[in-house]
Amino acid sequence: MAEGALSGLRLIEMGQLIAGPFCGQLMGDHGAEVIKIEPPKVGDAMRNWGQGIPLWFSVVARNKKSITLNLREKEGQDIVRKLAAKSDFLLENFRPGTLERWNLGWDDLHAVNEALIMIRVSGYGQTGPYSSRAGYGGIGEAMGGMRYLAGEPDRPPSRAGLSIGDSLAATYACLGALMALNHRHKTGLGQMVDSAIYEAVLANMESTISEYTVTGHIRERTGSILPKIAPSNVYPTIDGSVLVAGNQDSVWKRMSAMMGMAELGDDPRYNSHVARGQRQAELDDLIGEWTRKFTSQQVLDMCEEHGVPAGNMYRAPEMLEDPHFAAREAIIERDHPKHDNFKMQNVAPKLSATPGGVDWVGPELGEHNELVYGELLGMDSGTMSDLEERGII
């Protein structure tokens, strides 16, 4: 494994799809040994997900070791306890109550290993009247308030295009696990991390709750603009569009000069944050009439020259061509057993002393059975063969 800040720590990943496994990806990126448990023969459903050819698993399961294990059988549950006894973290995103039915809940595993940190990701959390409900990322985004604000004001709420709720819950789970690790350094004891998708989304809802309780204001969908923050929008060009953000007073002065309208920098209609916010649509129309005379690159060049924040709308092709992405190695290429030219995003954030890294893409199903069961748990080949024949591993 690449040297990372979490090197020397072991995580058992029992989750599937995104909400749990993305937490495992983050920890594996930074050096933790991640042993992923998958159902025999079928594996994680994420192995079949993706646009066109299913490649998502190769990203979210990178740096992980795959073992197969039937968690519904008592012998499989006994093996989990043996793994938990030798690990620092156990991660799961089953519906709350599932592990308890398998005698693998917090009390059971804490009794096996008091230092174990148990990371639990679910739709609604481990407690409360909704805890036993099935909960996917989209539902958490809706209940947490994000979906209502996504999209254009004259259309129904939209999806962001990515599984934001799942990824947020996994990220908070990782954050909670590292907090618990620091607590363990001081006490020697592990604890349970309870990350709910709807709460992870809610945590990112800025001041929307306060705005309602104090003033009765409910935020609505606003499309591409930030209400009362102007100018900050996507503006048309000859060959497409660019995002320009000149909403700070000093930046607006530079932007108005860039457009050949320096007088607008001091015009009382536009010379303050509040004034520009009150004339947001009017200002966007004025800027759009100017930008449509130039190509996107010309606008970007002028913005850079005048110190005005601006950027293109990137897709994968633009990211791969961008010299800044290349200079920071934001995208990396790794060998893949089935596909050439396999590229993906690199580790984030960047740490100066222990940067972490990606050593391999998502593994084959059960690829590390012999390594984990044989070397870590000390099973002999006969025992492993017997367990395999009976569908335990």
Percent of the chain beyond pLDDT 70? 99
> Is residue 199 a part of any domain in this protein?
yes
Kindly state whether residues 112 and 59 are assigned to the same domain.
yes
Percent of the chain beyond pLDDT 90? 94
- Quickly state the pLDDT bin for 15 (edges 50, 70, 90): confident
- Quickly state the pLDDT bin for 331 (edges 50, 70, 90): very high
- Quickly state the pLDDT bin for 224 (edges 50, 70, 90): confident
* Domain count for the chain: 2
For tokens 């916010």, the residue is: 277
**pTM (two decimals):** 0.92
pLDDT tens across 16-45, in order? 999 999 999 999 999 999 999 999 999 999
The reported pLDDT for the residue numbered 1 is: 46
Domain of residue 242 covers 232-313
Kindly state whether residues 344 and 258 are assigned to the same domain.
no
Instruction: Tell which of 285, 313, 341 closes a domain.
Output: 313
Kindly state whether residues 307 and 164 are assigned to the same domain.
no
pLDDT tens across 255-286, in order? 999 999 999 999 999 999 999 999 999 999 99
pLDDT tens across 60-107, in order? 999 999 999 999 999 999 999 999 999 999 999 999 999 999 999 999
Look at residue 2 and tell me whether its pLDDT is greater than 70.
no
Kindly state whether residues 297 and 344 are assigned to the same domain.
no
Kindly state whether residues 59 and 190 are assigned to the same domain.
yes
Instruction: Tell which of 313, 348, 367 closes a domain.
Output: 313
Residue 98 belongs to domain with CATH number: 3.40.50.10540
Kindly state whether residues 62 and 175 are assigned to the same domain.
yes
- Quickly state the pLDDT bin for 127 (edges 50, 70, 90): very high
Kindly state whether residues 254 and 374 are assigned to the same domain.
no
- The set of catalytic residues is 166
- Quickly state the pLDDT bin for 51 (edges 50, 70, 90): confident
